A and B are shown apart, each in its own frame.
Chain A
Amino acid sequence: MFIQQFVNGISVGSVYALMAVGYALIYSLLNFTNFAHGISVTIGAFAAFFFLTYAMQNLLSGIIMGVIAAALLAAFIQLVAYRPLLKRNSKRIFLMIIGLGVSVIGDNLIIIAFSGRFRIFPVNFSSESIKIFGANIGVVDIIIFVVSMIALLIVELIIRKTRLGLAIRGASFSLDTTSLMGVNTYKLILTIFLIAGSLAGIAGALLGAKYTTYPSLGTFYTNKAFICAVFGGLGSLPGAMIGALILGVSESMISAYVSTGLRDLFSYFILIVILLVRPSGLMGKSSENKA
């Protein structure tokens, strides 16, 4: 029972990590929270669902479809909503408000297009399980963990080893300086949104595989992911991953040993406690307001 719940927690946590890293990437560069992240997740889940239903019953291809759809959507949102604001250097709060507006539009358009129904992926993994150390481990959990870790590893490698990664790391210290060094910051920002969107797409497809697909899926889980990002320290990638795994496991434990109803309450409670005790999170840099 314990091992089962632990594995379940790790698998949920790794999906949280995919979304939390998306938040952290955008935050580290642009210093604002992308409130439109949720619809990329939802679109990823729906794209995977429709691909699996009407084209091919292969989860991996489904995930790839989810990634493509979500990344394109994230890039589109960046171009239409955020870029004009970034160009005229408007207040950070406006970026968040427009993100909110976009997510309201997206969520409701998805309901209009696909109805609010809960859909189950035609490929049913949730019932299959294998026995490890006497515990039943769901195959889907293993797939989720492996896929998430591979995706996060790729992102980590891009950031550590490539020229693009160098530009991203530079820009997270100072976007202006990086642009002075000859980096096209708009292209860089677009790339970041593509990466964050791809991660969101994977997360959406995996959530669809584990649970069901429905319009408010993205909003619900990105709220959790945002808590993870705050927990780890806004803007810190390793922080976001660790925060996500901790939250995933503790949620799983709460719903197993206390009550499922209190699980979400616990997450929001954690958020408030973190902000009380250590607002900069586990690995965040505290920023003093400079005069």
Chain B
Amino acid sequence: MIYWLGVATLVGIYLIAVMGVSILCGFTGMFSLGHAGFMAIGAYTSALLTKNFGIPIFAGIIGGMILAAIAGALLCYPTLKLRDDYFIIVTLGIGEAIKLIILNAVNLTGGARGLSDIPKGSSFISVWAIVIITFIVLRSFINSKHGRNCIALREEELAAQSVGINPIKYKMVAMVISCLLCGCAGGFLAHYMHYLQPNMFSMVKSDELIIMVILGGQGSLTGTVLAGLLLLPLPELLRFGSAEQWRMVFYGLLVVIVILFRPAGLMGMREFTFKDIKNVAKWFRSEYSKKTTRNKV
């Protein structure tokens, strides 16, 4: 039971990051290969603040979020005007650079040996409360003018500008939101694991975040959450020799198949609603009644 609670907590932590990346990649159309780096900033900031200065955990996490957002905004500002290839490679560079800085700042972060004895504090309830709040806030954001402007930029940047949408501003908004949430997830991760190591935030982690968004549907928050719920528990469920590699192969295959056959992802641009649940239930019931009538005959 405690084990499953732990798995669920970890899934919740990564869901926060995945939702952040969804706003940037799915809704604004800017693909980042470096968001694990912003998770690392959040994680190390919160860990160091709480460990060295004894400030409360929630304040540490907020500190981590703010630092991640500032770093993201400053680093990505110059590339927002450029084509998407450049944004991808710059985020990749930033992600790797953050990891390298942490590796080299041995006195502060413990380098490759890692940082241990981080105060505990990420409970199942606190994590999932944040997941739910994040989901609700992001949903309202997407349905507001500001979210729609981000979507417009993804669809057709020139046309978006022609109706008066400031591309830099809204790309920046998406960037800051995603960095805030990745920083938040990183903070929770630090206080859940009690232990941090630069390798926890490698490029593979960034790839995973973006893969969830692609599979869930670019432009569907519920789709992304669904993909996250399906895929995030896998590393905990599969624990054998090269399970980690097979899992990544599986993810990669899913991405290839999705892009080839259903580029819009699991949910496309639709959101999953209560009506869908009802429809599924109705479908099940009708199938069931068909079967029972058939049996009677």
- Whether chain A touches chain B in the assembled complex (some CB pair under 8 Å): yes
Inter-chain contact A97/B259, CB cutoff 8 Å: yes
Q: Which residue on B lies nearest to A91, using beta carbons?
A: B263
Inter-chain contact B251/A104, CB cutoff 8 Å: yes
> Is B253 an interface residue when CB atoms closer than 8 A count as contact?
yes
List B residues 252-272 near A (Cβ within 8 Å).
252-256, 259-260, 263
Q: Which residue on A lies nearest to B96, using beta carbons?
A: A268
> Is A279 an interface residue when CB atoms closer than 8 A count as contact?
yes
Inter-chain contact B248/A104, CB cutoff 8 Å: yes
**A1 shortest CB reach to chain B, Å:** 24
Q: Given A85-B260, A97-B214, A264-B96, are A230 and B158 neighbors across the interface (CB < 8 Å)?
A: no
Q: CA of A90 to CA of B262 in the docked complex: distance in angstroms?
A: 12
Inter-chain contact A108/B252, CB cutoff 8 Å: yes
Q: CA of A98 to CA of B29 in the docked complex: distance in angstroms?
A: 15
List A residues 61-93 near B (Cβ within 8 Å).
81, 84-85, 90, 92-93
Partner of B252, one of A105, A223, A261, A271: A105
Partner of A108, one of B29, B75, B246: B246
> Is A2 an interface residue when CB atoms closer than 8 A count as contact?
no
Inter-chain contact B256/A102, CB cutoff 8 Å: yes
Q: Chain A contacts of B104 at CB under 8 A?
A: 261-262, 265
Q: Chain A contacts of B256 at CB under 8 A?
A: 81, 98, 101-102, 105
List B residues 167-186 near A (Cβ within 8 Å).
none
Partner of B31, one of A93, A271, A276, A279: A93
Inter-chain contact A272/B214, CB cutoff 8 Å: no
Q: Chain A contacts of B214 at CB under 8 A?
A: 97
Q: CA of A81 to CA of B86 in the docked complex: distance in angstroms?
A: 22
**A207 shortest CB reach to chain B, Å:** 18
**B32 shortest CB reach to chain A, Å:** 12
Q: Chain A contacts of B203 at CB under 8 A?
A: 219
Q: CA of A32 to CA of B86 in the docked complex: distance in angstroms?
A: 11
Q: Encode contact with A along B73-84: 1 for CB under 8 Å, 0 otherwise.
A: 001001101101
Determine the interface band of chain B, counting residues with CB < 8 A from chain A: 35 or more
Inter-chain contact A265/B255, CB cutoff 8 Å: no
Q: Count chain A CB atoms within 10 A of each CB in B75, B93, B203, B253 and give the residue with the most.
A: B93
Q: Which residue on A lies nearest to B111, using beta carbons?
A: A261
Q: CA of A147 to CA of B96 in the docked complex: distance in angstroms?
A: 31
Inter-chain contact B255/A32, CB cutoff 8 Å: no
Q: CA of A109 to CA of B158 in the docked complex: distance in angstroms?
A: 41
Inter-chain contact A271/B263, CB cutoff 8 Å: no
Q: Chain A contacts of B97 at CB under 8 A?
A: 265, 268-269
Inter-chain contact B31/A275, CB cutoff 8 Å: no
Q: How many residues of A contact B (CB 8 A)?
A: 43
Inter-chain contact A272/B78, CB cutoff 8 Å: yes
Q: CA of A61 to CA of B256 in the docked complex: distance in angstroms?
A: 34
Q: Given A100-B207, A268-B97, are A112 and B259 neighbors across the interface (CB < 8 Å)?
A: no
- A-B contacts, CB under 8 A, total: 116
**B96 shortest CB reach to chain A, Å:** 6
> Is B69 an interface residue when CB atoms closer than 8 A count as contact?
no
> Is B92 an interface residue when CB atoms closer than 8 A count as contact?
yes
> Is B144 an interface residue when CB atoms closer than 8 A count as contact?
no
List B residues 207-259 near A (Cβ within 8 Å).
207, 210-211, 214, 242, 245-246, 248-249, 251-256, 259
Inter-chain contact A268/B93, CB cutoff 8 Å: yes
Q: Encode contact with B along A14-42: 1 for CB under 8 Å, 0 otherwise.
A: 00000000000000000011000000000
Q: CA of A265 to CA of B96 in the docked complex: distance in angstroms?
A: 8
**B219 shortest CB reach to chain A, Å:** 13
List A residues 89-139 near B (Cβ within 8 Å).
90, 92-94, 96-98, 100-109, 111-112
Q: Which residue on B lies nearest to A103, using beta carbons?
A: B252
Q: Chain B contacts of A223 at CB under 8 A?
A: 92-93, 96
**A224 shortest CB reach to chain B, Å:** 10
Known pairs A97-B214, A291-B158. 5 more at Cβ < 8 A?
A: A103-B252, A261-B104, A268-B96, A275-B86, A279-B81
- Which 7 pairs of residues, A with B, have the shortest CB-CB distance? A101-B255, A105-B252, A104-B252, A268-B93, A108-B245, A268-B97, A108-B248
Residues of B participating in the A interface, judged by any CB pair closer than 8 Å: 29, 31, 33, 75, 78-79, 81-82, 84-86, 88-90, 92-94, 96-97, 100-101, 103-104, 158, 203-204, 207, 210-211, 214, 242, 245-246, 248-249, 251-256, 259-260, 263
28 interchain pairs, CB-CB under 8 A = A32-B85, A33-B89, A81-B256, A84-B260, A96-B85, A100-B33, A101-B211, A101-B254, A101-B255, A103-B252, A104-B252, A104-B255, A105-B252, A106-B252, A107-B248, A223-B92, A223-B96, A230-B86, A234-B85, A261-B103, A264-B96, A265-B101, A268-B97, A271-B93, A272-B78, A272-B90, A272-B93, A279-B81
Residues of A participating in the B interface, judged by any CB pair closer than 8 Å: 32-33, 81, 84-85, 90, 92-94, 96-98, 100-109, 111-112, 219, 223, 226-227, 230, 234, 261-262, 264-265, 268-269, 271-272, 275-276, 279, 289, 291
